[in-house]
Structures are given as structure tokens and as C-alpha cells.
A = this chain, B = another copy of it.
Amino acid sequence: LEEQALIPVVPFKNCPIRISLGVLGKKWTMLIIRDIGFLKIGRFNQILRTLPGLTPRVLSMRLRELEKNGIIRQIEVQSSPKQVRWGLTRKGRDTLPILMSLIAFGSRWYSDFVRR
């Protein structure tokens, strides 16, 4: 009996992993969620400062995507001076286990390089 016969080989177009990565898999996205969700860093320029290499253009795009996907929302808005703070939604909080497992893996196998 063939081993692979035990596993129905279907194209997993709608695999939950693939779908999750469609939202979360883009460059910078997870790190932005880390800032907003973990570190409670929710201001635009603050996020920019904690993520060297990230440009305002890309941050703006990611925030819009995450907002549209219901993962973050503006929890504090005021004008003059314009002030915004981003926070996680209920759905956004459900991404934290993903970050946790990434931290666990990285800390375990790359402890030499991990500063925090």
C-alpha cells in the first residue's frame, strides 16, 4: 500500500495557512502587529522608529490593509495636533498566538542573535 494513498492529494487552494498568510504574510506586517499588539506602540512615527528600514509609504499601506481586514483600528483620534493611536481588534488579538510561536521558535533556535 502506497503511503501517499493515505493522504488525499488535493490542491489546497483554500488552506487556512495560505489564507492567513494572504493577510499576514506581507513584509513588515507581523512586525507592525508586534508593535501595536505587544508593545502598545500605536503611533505612526513611533512604529517607524522602532522598525528601521520601514518607510512611511509602506507603513501606510500596511495599516490600511490591516484596517480593511479588521485586524487593527484607530482607538484614539484627535486633530490639532493630529493624533492617532492604533490598536488591535478582537480579530487582531487572535493573531497574537502566531507571534508568540514565532517568538518561541526564534528565541529557541537563534538565541545568540536575539537581543529582545
Contact = CB atoms under 8 A, between A and B. Distances in A.
Interface of A: 3-4, 7, 9-21, 24-25, 27, 30-31, 34, 39-41, 43, 46, 49-52, 91, 94-95, 97-110, 113-116
A99 B17 contact: yes
A43 to B, nearest CB: 8
A interface, over-half SS: helix
Contacts of A17: 30-31, 34, 99, 102-103, 106
Contact of A94 (B9, B19, B98, B108): B108
Contacts of A95: 105
A108 B9 CA distance: 24
A35 to B, nearest CB: 9
Given A3-B40, A17-B31, A46-B9, A105 B98 contact: yes
